[in-house]
């Protein structure tokens, strides 16, 4: 929806007022490689994408927080006390969690009128939620002149999801949505938060996302279960090795520790995914720098296998899409992206073979799964910003 149509909808809902209306935008993100490593202090390699969320926001004379979206029916008018409580399973928990972070940090926020509008597909593993959280944090910081820097906003948005929404997510999504740069992907060390923007020079290849359109079930509880399993793995090895984040262990060091997991094979497999995936990110970024897209793609396939077998976060529809990609000439790599349990695959495809991938997905995916897929071609884009003019 374009900005003038959004302003019209904003005025229809909230009327005219003296306070200026401001517009902000935050993208979604896709992770190219390095999943389920962030909360173990590992490397990730995401980029912001050309799908995102727009927020029109204005200070209001009333003390209430007013939240509406063009994507969902609900219109919430909440007092400060009401805003401190979780609102069922609703999307507004993301902005509410962020409001609470500002209150916790001692900022006295006045009333606001908000209209959100997004085109990041929900539940697709493309961070529609981080897009909303970061957008809210960025806009509140600007509107109430809180003077917080971007990294602080990233961390507040992450804590909003951890503490308010109840998902023990790592920092990758909020970071990528905030710091994204056009034509770049970020190699982020989630332990130190050191980040390198790497030019995503793909020459004759393209990044294609394919949405399984599978309904995700129990994904939050299974996600939190994986977080607990990796904490357990760290507990087992830390005394012996002195590490304070699981990803600091090399695959060989983990193999050397395997007797500590004699009674916990599942936890061992989870740890094996983390340490090998961390390694794959390093190798993939080196391959990209050397313009070796074949190796990058091979590492994507290996990443998928590890997420499927060792980490157990894949699903039949995701595996079907990756297998179709594997069997399509000109596809260099494919893997599930994000948390898994449904959502999208990310594919690296020679540009002149994108159509054959489309055709093969059309031909086989529905037949194998009963679902129909959606396909998006994405470009690496800039992070959160105010929209002017």
Q: How many CB atoms lie within 10 A of CB 371?
A: 17
CB of 83 to ligand GLA, least distance (A): 23
**Distance, CA of 173 to CA of 167 (rounded, Å):** 13
What are the structure tokens assigned to 85, written together?
């409580």
Angle at 288 between CA 283 and CA 291, to 5 degrees: 130
**Minimal distance, residue 339 CB to ligand GLA, in Å:** 4
Please, what is the minimum distance in Å from the beta carbon of residue 87 to ligand GLA? Answer: 20
Residue entry with tokens 């760290």: 234
Beta bridge partners of 386: 24
CB of 173 to ligand GLA, least distance (A): 4
Q: Which residues of this chain interact with ligand GLA, rule CB under 6 A? A: 31, 35-36, 38-39, 169-170, 172-173, 338-339
- For CA atoms 8, 10, 12, 16, the dihedral sign is negative
Q: Which is nearer to ligand GLA, 68 or 322 (CB)?
A: 322
> 173 catalytic, yes or no?
yes
Catalytic residue among 35, 173, 279, 310: 173
Q: How many CB atoms lie within 10 A of CB 149?
A: 8
In this structure, what are the phi and psi dihedrals at residue 261, rounded to the nearest 5 degrees?
Answer: -115, 20
Give the residue with the Cβ less far from ligand GLA, 177 or 354. 177
The nearest distance, CB 201 to ligand GLA, in angstroms, is 24
Classify 63 as helix, strand or coil: coil
We find the least distance from the C-beta atom of residue 29 to ligand GLA, in angstroms, to be 8
Residue facing ligand GLA at closest CB distance? 169
Is the C-alpha dihedral spanning 26, 30, 36, 40 positive or negative?
Answer: negative
Residue 147 burial class via C-beta count within 10 angstroms: exposed 0-12, middle 13-18, buried 19 and up: exposed
Task: Give least dist CB 207 to ligand GLA, A.
Answer: 17
Closest CA to 178 of 140, 134, 148: 134
Q: Between 6 and 137, whose beta carbon lies closer to ligand GLA? A: 137
Structure tokens, 14: 């909230």
Phi first, then psi, for residue 45 (nearest 5°) are: -140, 70
The nearer residue to ligand GLA, 179 or 339, going by C-beta atoms, is 339
Is 232 in a helix, a strand, or coil?
helix
Residue 325 to residue 335: CA distance in whole angstroms:
9
Location of structure tokens 């159509």:
355
User: Hunting for tokens 């995701």 — which residue is that?
Assistant: 318
Closer residue to ligand GLA in complex, CB, 172/247: 172
Give the separation between CA 124 and CA 339, rounded to whole angstroms: 9
Q: Is 7 left (phi over 0), alpha (psi -120 to 50) or beta?
A: alpha
CB-nearer residue toward ligand GLA: 80 or 222: 222
Nearer residue to ligand GLA within complex by CB, 57 or 384: 384
The catalytic site residues sit at 173
């Amino acid at each position: 929806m374009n900005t003038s149509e959004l302003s019209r909808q904003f005025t229809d809902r909230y009327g005219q007022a003296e306070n200026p209306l401001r517009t902000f935008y935050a993208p979604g993100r896709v992770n190219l490689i390095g999943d389920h490593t962030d909360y173990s202090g590992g490397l990730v390699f995401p980029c912001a994408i050309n799908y995102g969320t727009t927020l029109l926001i204005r200070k209001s004379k009333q003390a209430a927080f007013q939240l509406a979206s063009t994507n969902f029916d609900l219109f919430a008018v909440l007092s400060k006390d009401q805003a401190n409580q979780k609102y069922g399973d609703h999307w507004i928990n993301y902005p509410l969690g962020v409001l609470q972070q500002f209150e916790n940090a001692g900022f006295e926020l006045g009333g606001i009128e908000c209209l959100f509008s997004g085109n990041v597909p929900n539940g697709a593993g493309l961070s529609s939620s981080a897009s909303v959280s970061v957008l809210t944090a960025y806009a509140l910081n600007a509107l109430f002149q809180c003077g917080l820097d971007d990294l602080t906003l990233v961390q507040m948005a992450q804590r909003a999801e951890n503490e308010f929404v109840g998902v023990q997510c790592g920092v990758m999504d909020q970071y990528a949505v905030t710091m994204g740069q056009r034509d770049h992907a970020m190699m982020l060390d989630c332990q130190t938060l050191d980040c390198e923007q790497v030019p995503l020079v793909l020459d004759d290849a393209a990044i294609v996302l394919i949405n399984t359109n599978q309904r995700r079930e129990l994904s939050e509880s299974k996600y939190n279960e994986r977080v607990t399993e990796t904490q357990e793995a760290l507990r087992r090895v830390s005394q012996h090795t002195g590490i304070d984040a699981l990803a600091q262990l090399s695959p060989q060091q983990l193999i050397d520790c395997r007797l500590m997991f004699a009674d916990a094979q599942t936890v061992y497999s989870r740890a094996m995914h983390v340490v090998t995936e961390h390694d794959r990110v390093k190798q993939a970024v080196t391959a990209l720098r050397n313009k070796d897209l074949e190796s990058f793609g091979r590492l994507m396939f290996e990443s998928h296998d590890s997420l499927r077998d060792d980490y157990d976060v894949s699903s039949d529809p995701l595996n079907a899409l990756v297998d179709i990609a594997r069997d399509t000439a000109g596809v260099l790599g494919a893997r599930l992206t994000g948390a898994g349990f449904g959502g999208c695959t990310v594919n690296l495809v020679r540009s002149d073979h994108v159509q054959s991938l489309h055709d093969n997905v059309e031909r086989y995916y529905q037949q194998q799964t009963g679902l129909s897929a959606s396909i998006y071609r994405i470009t690496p884009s800039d992070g959160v910003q105010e929209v002017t003019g």
